[in-house]
Amino acid sequence: MMDFIKNNWLYLLIGLVAFALAIVIVFVLLNKGKNKKPKPAPVASQSVYLEALGGKENIKSHKSVGSRINIELVDMEKAQPEKLLEAGVDSYIKMSGKLVLVVKENAQAVSDVIFGE
């Protein structure tokens, strides 16, 4: 056995390197599409967002925190969160008098459009 390894070490090394290279290639091909960044949410016009929130006069206060926009509303019944989803908001959370908009990629841009900042 030792004579076989001594006489064929170069071929064994080449085979081992080829095997490792094949494993790397398969791994890269399997993970090719998984590392793409998601597209940022589209940003609609200010009027679309304000209409969905029940108008500018329906907004008491707002605050952006990371991927969320916390909006305190005067009348929650005037809000139409489904329209916000159509305008690019990923999801929303309704609380008593408060609406939390979740915008994963560009929350600050959406907040700037809504509140004109």
pLDDT computed for residue 32 by the predictor:
79
pLDDT computed for residue 106 by the predictor:
83
**Average pLDDT, rounded, for the chain:** 88
Report pLDDT digits (tens) over 32-58: 777 666 666 567 889 999 999 999 999
Cα–Cα distances (Å) from 61 to 8, 34, 53, 74, 109, in that order, read 77, 39, 12, 9, 17
Q: Which CATH architecture has domain 46-115?
A: 2-Layer Sandwich (3.30)
| For the ranges 6-10, 18-22, 93-97, the one whose mean pLDDT is highest | 18-22
Angle CA(82)–CA(88)–CA(90) in degrees, nearest 5?
Answer: 75
In the chain, % helix, strand, coil (3-state, to 5) comes to: 50, 20, 30
38 DSSP assignment: P
Q: For residue 12, what are the contacts with CB-CB under 8 A and spacing of at least 6?
A: 5
